[in-house]
C-alpha cells in the first residue's frame, strides 16, 4: 500500500526548512525503493513544531517534529511509514493539546488537505456553503451572514452582513468583492495561512459574497512579500475556474463570478480599505475621505464589499451549518470563533482558533506557555502595531471586542505579541510613533507631522530632558492624533503609546542625562 506523508508548503514551515526535509525524504524513498506519496499541505499552526511531518495511519495521522533533513533516515528506520516510535514522534496530531483544545471552524481543513486539490476540498465538506447559497435568494444569504453575528476580522469589527446589505441594495451596472489580504499587522499570519493552506475556502467565501450582493468580479489584494500565498491562490483560482466553481456560471447556477489576484508593494497603509482601492486602481496608496463608503462607491467608483480574508473564509461554514450554529460560539457581541495569532517572545507560537471569551492570561500563559526566554511576561501587545500594550494586571480581560475597548485596547486582526521583562516600554512607544511616521500616507497633518514630533518627544524623555513637560506633550500629541487623524493609522497609534505610558510609567522616568552620566 502507498504510504501518505504530509510536509507543509506553508511559508513558516518553508522558512524552517520544510523544502529541504521534503527533498531529503524524496531521495531516501528513491534510494530504498519505497512506495510513498508526499502531500505538501498547509500548516497546522504549531510553529514551534515546524517542519511538522505527518503520516497517515489507520488510527489517524501521526506527527513528528520539528524534523530536520538529517533525521529522515533514522525516522524511516524507526518505522515512520507506519507511524512508528521515535524521539520526534508527537503521537496523533489531533491529540496534541494545542490543536485538540481548539475550535476550528474557519481553519478546519488547514493542514489537513492538499491545498490545491478541489477533490480533497470537497471530500472535507468544501463547497456545501456555496451550494446552499445558490439555492437561496440573495437577501436570504445576506440575512444568514447578518444573523450569524460575524464581524469583520480585519480590525474594525464591523458587522459583515450589514456591509453586504448596503452593497446588495445599491443599484449599479457593476459591483465588486475585494478581499483584503494585505495583512500588514506585525505578528499576524492567519490570512497567509488560509491562502496557503485552504485557498478554496476563501474562493468559496468570495463567490458567496458575489452571489449575495450581485457582484460578478472579485479581487484578492495581497502583498508582494507573500509569494507563496500568491502562488497557491493563483493555482487554486485556475483549478476553480477549470471546474466551473468560478466563471460565467458558478456551479451551474447561471450566475457569474470570477477572481483575480493582485499584489501590492507592501505599504502598511494599503491595508486601509480606501488606500487599498486606490492601489488596486493603479494609483498611489493614499487614504480617501469617507463618505462615500466603499460599499457605495468603492473600486472604480462602484459598490464594493471590502472584507478581510478571515471574514470571507468564515462565510462557507456559516452557510453550510447555519447562522445559529456559528453564533452559538463566543460571548456578548463577539460571536463565532477567532483565529488568535500568538507571536513574539513566546514558547508555543502559532495559530489558535477558538470561540471568543478566553482571557488574555489563558492565551499567553496556558496556550502560549509563557515566554521563550523563560523570563516573566511583562507586556503583551494585542492587535498589531496599532494595538495597546497590556500588563499582567489586565490579563483577566476576555478576548472580546467590547471588553478590549473597555480597557482602551483593541483586538484588531487578533495578533498578540509577547514581551518579557527585558522590554523597554519607552522604546516601544517611540517605535509606535516611528512606525506611524514611516508608514503615514501623508494626507493629514496630525499623523504626518504628529508622529515625527512624537519620536522627538520620546527621545527627549529618554534623554531626561524636562521629562514631566515632555510626557504631557506626548499625551497631548496622542490626543490630537486620536481625534484629528483621517484614518486609524494616525488615529490608533496613540493606543500603544498611551498604554505604555499608563501601565509602565516607570519606563518613562529615566534619569536626566547629566545625572545618568555621573
Ligand X SMILES: Cc1cc2nc3c(=O)[nH]c(=O)nc-3n(C[C@H](O)[C@H](O)[C@H](O)COP(=O)(O)O)c2cc1C
When asked if residue 152 is in the footprint of ligand X (CB under 6 A), the reply is yes
Q: Which does 443 bind (CB under 5 to 8 A by kind): ligand SF4, ligand X, none?
A: ligand SF4
User: Would you say 9 and 232 are in contact if contact means Cβ atoms under 8 Å apart?
Assistant: yes
When asked if residue 332 is in the footprint of ligand SF4 (CB under 6 A), the reply is no
Per-residue contact string for residues 264-303; x = within reach of ligand SF4 by CB under 6 A: -----x-----------------x----------------
CA distance 350 to 187: 10
User: Would you say 64 and 52 are in contact if contact means Cβ atoms under 8 Å apart?
Assistant: yes
∠ at Cα 12 (7, 14), nearest 5°? 50
Phi-psi region of 466 (alpha: psi -120 to 50; beta: other; left: phi over 0): left
Least Å from the CB of residue 184 to ligand SF4? 12
Q: Which does 152 bind (CB under 5 to 8 A by kind): ligand X, ligand SF4, none?
A: ligand X
When asked if residue 184 is in the footprint of ligand X (CB under 6 A), the reply is yes
User: Which one of 37, 79, 82, 158 is in contact with ligand X (CB under 6 A)?
Assistant: 158
* Neighbouring-strand partners of residue 417: 343, 381
CA distance 162 to 307: 12
CA distance 411 to 383: 5
Q: Which does 158 bind (CB under 5 to 8 A by kind): ligand X, ligand SF4, none?
A: ligand X
Long-range CB contacts (within 8 A, 24+) of 287-294: 287/441, 287/443, 287/486, 287/487, 287/489, 289/486, 293/166, 294/178
CA distance 415 to 428: 17
For ligand X, the closer of residues 354 and 440 by Cβ is 440
CA distance 388 to 378: 13
Least Å from the CB of residue 20 to ligand X? 31
When asked if residue 486 is in the footprint of ligand SF4 (CB under 6 A), the reply is yes
User: Would you say 155 and 488 are in contact if contact means Cβ atoms under 8 Å apart?
Assistant: yes
Q: Which does 440 bind (CB under 5 to 8 A by kind): ligand SF4, ligand X, none?
A: ligand SF4
CA distance 391 to 304: 39
When asked if residue 152 is in the footprint of ligand SF4 (CB under 6 A), the reply is no
What is the number of other CB atoms lying within 10 angstroms of the CB of residue 366?
14
User: Which one of 130, 489, 500, 501 is in contact with ligand SF4 (CB under 6 A)?
Assistant: 489
Phi-psi region of 404 (alpha: psi -120 to 50; beta: other; left: phi over 0): alpha
When asked if residue 183 is in the footprint of ligand X (CB under 6 A), the reply is yes
Instruction: Choose the binding region for ligand SF4 from 64-72, 80-88, 315-323, 484-492 (rule: CB under 6 A).
Output: 484-492
User: Which one of 442, 468, 483, 516 is in contact with ligand SF4 (CB under 6 A)?
Assistant: 442
User: Would you say 367 and 352 are in contact if contact means Cβ atoms under 8 Å apart?
Assistant: yes
When asked if residue 485 is in the footprint of ligand X (CB under 6 A), the reply is no
Per-residue contact string for residues 187-226; x = within reach of ligand X by CB under 6 A: ----------------------------------------
299-318: which residues touch ligand X (CB under 6 A)? 306-308, 311
When asked if residue 497 is in the footprint of ligand SF4 (CB under 6 A), the reply is no
265-304: which residues touch ligand X (CB under 6 A)? 268-269, 271-273
User: Would you say 299 and 219 are in contact if contact means Cβ atoms under 8 Å apart?
Assistant: yes
Instruction: Choose the binding region for ligand SF4 from 25-33, 314-322, 361-369, 444-452 (rule: CB under 6 A).
Output: 444-452
Burial of residue 225 (number of CB atoms within 10 Å: 0-12, 13-18, 19+): middle
311-370: which residues touch ligand X (CB under 6 A)? 311
Dihedral (CA of 6, 8, 13, 18) sign: positive
CA distance 169 to 180: 22
| C-alpha cell at position 74 | 533514522
For ligand X, the closer of residues 64 and 107 by Cβ is 107
When asked if residue 443 is in the footprint of ligand X (CB under 6 A), the reply is no
Instruction: Choose the binding region for ligand SF4 from 164-172, 343-351, 482-490, 504-512 (rule: CB under 6 A).
Output: 482-490
Least Å from the CB of residue 281 to ligand X? 16
CA distance 126 to 108: 10
User: Would you say 173 and 306 are in contact if contact means Cβ atoms under 8 Å apart?
Assistant: no
For ligand X, the closer of residues 156 and 406 by Cβ is 156
Q: Which does 306 bind (CB under 5 to 8 A by kind): ligand X, ligand SF4, none?
A: ligand X
User: Which one of 239, 447, 477, 497 is in contact with ligand SF4 (CB under 6 A)?
Assistant: 447
Q: Which does 485 bind (CB under 5 to 8 A by kind): ligand X, ligand SF4, none?
A: ligand SF4
Please report, as ranges, the residues that interact with ligand X according to CB under 6 A.
152-156, 158, 180, 182-184, 268-269, 271-273, 306-308, 311, 487-489
- Where do contacts with ligand SF4 occur on this chain (CB under 6 A)? 269, 287, 440-444, 447-448, 485-487, 489-490
Amino acid at each position: 500500500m502507498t504510504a501518505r506523508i504530509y510536509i507543509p508548503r506553508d511559508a513558516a514551515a518553508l522558512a524552517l526548512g520544510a523544502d529541504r526535509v521534503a527533498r531529503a525524504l524524496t531521495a531516501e524513498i528513491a534510494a530504498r525503493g519505497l512506495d510513498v506519496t508526499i502531500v505538501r499541505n498547509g500548516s497546522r499552526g504549531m510553529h514551534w513544531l515546524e517542519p511538522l511531518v505527518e503520516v497517515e495511519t489507520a488510527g489517524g495521522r501521526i506527527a513528528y517534529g520539528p524534523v530536520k533533513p538529517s533525521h529522515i533516515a533514522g525516522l524511516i528506520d524507526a518505522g515512520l511509514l507506519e507511524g512508528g516510535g521515535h524521539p520526534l514522534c508527537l503521537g496523533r496530531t489531533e491529540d496534541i493539546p494545542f490543536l485538540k483544545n481548539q475550535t476550528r471552524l474557519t481553519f478546519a481543513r488547514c493542514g489537513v488537505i492538499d491545498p490545491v486539490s478541489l477533490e480533497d476540498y470537497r471530500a472535507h465538506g468544501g463547497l456545501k456553503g456555496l451550494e446552499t447559497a445558490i439555492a437561496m435568494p440573495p437577501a436570504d444569504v445576506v440575512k444568514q451572514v447578518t444573523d450569524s453575528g460575524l464581524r469583520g476580522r480585519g480590525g474594525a469589527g464591523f458587522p459583515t452582513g450589514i456591509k453586504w446589505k448596503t452593497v446588495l441594495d445599491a443599484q449599479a451596472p457593476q459591483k465588486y468583492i475585494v478581499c483584503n489580504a494585505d495583512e500588514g499587522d506585525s505578528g499576524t499570519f492567519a490570512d497567509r495561512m488560509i491562502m496557503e493552506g485552504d485557498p478554496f475556502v476563501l474562493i468559496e467565501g468570495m463567490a458567496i459574497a458575489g452571489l449575495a450582493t450581485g457582484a460578478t468580479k472579485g479581487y484578492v489584494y495581497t502583498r508582494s512579500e507573500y509569494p507563496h500565498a500568491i502562488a497557491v491562490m493563483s493555482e487554486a483560482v485556475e483549478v476553480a475556474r477549470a471546474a466551473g466553481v468560478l466563471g460565467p456560471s458558478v456551479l451551474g447556477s447561471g450566475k457569474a463570478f470570477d477572481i483575480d489576484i493582485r499584489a501590492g508593494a507592501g505599504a502598511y497603509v494599503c491595508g486601509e480599505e480606501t488606500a487599498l482601492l486606490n492601489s488596486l486602481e493603479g494609483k498611489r496608496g493614499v487614504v480617501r475621505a469617507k463618505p462615500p463608503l466603499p460599499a457605495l462607491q468603492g473600486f472604480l467608483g462602484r459598490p464594493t464589499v471590502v472584507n478581510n480574508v478571515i471574514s470571507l473564509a468564515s462565510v462557507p461554514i456559516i452557510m453550510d451549518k447555519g447562522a445559529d450554529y456559528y453564533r452559538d460560539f463566543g460571548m456578548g457581541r463577539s460571536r463565532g470563533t477567532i483565529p488568535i495569532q500568538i507571536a513574539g517572545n513566546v514558547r508555543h507560537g502559532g495559530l489558535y482558533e477558538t470561540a471568543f471569551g478566553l482571557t488574555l492570561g489563558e492565551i499567553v500563559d496556558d496556550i502560549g506557555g509563557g515566554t521563550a526566554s523563560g523570563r516573566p511576561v511583562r507586556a503583551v501587545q494585542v492587535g498589531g502595531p496599532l494595538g495597546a500594550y497590556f500588563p499582567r494586571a489586565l490579563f483577566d480581560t476576555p478576548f472580546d471586542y467590547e471588553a478590549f475597548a473597555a480597557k482602551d485596547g483593541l483586538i484588531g486582526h487578533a495578533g498578540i505579541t509577547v514581551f518579557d521583562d527585558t522590554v523597554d516600554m519607552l522604546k516601544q512607544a517611540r517605535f509606535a510613533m516611528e512606525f506611524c511616521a514611516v508608514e503615514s500616507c501623508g494626507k493629514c497633518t496630525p499623523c504626518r507631522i504628529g508622529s515625527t514630533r512624537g519620536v522627538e518627544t520620546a527621545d527627549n524623555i529618554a534623554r531626561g530632558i524636562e521629562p514631566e513637560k515632555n510626557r504631557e506633550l506626548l499625551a497631548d500629541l496622542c490626543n490630537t492624533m486620536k481625534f484629528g487623524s483621517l484614518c486609524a493609522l494616525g488615529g490608533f497609534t496613540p493606543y500603544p503609546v498611551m498604554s505604555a505610558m499608563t501601565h509602565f510609567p516607570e519606563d518613562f522616568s529615566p534619569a536626566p542625562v547629566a545625572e545618568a552620566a555621573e
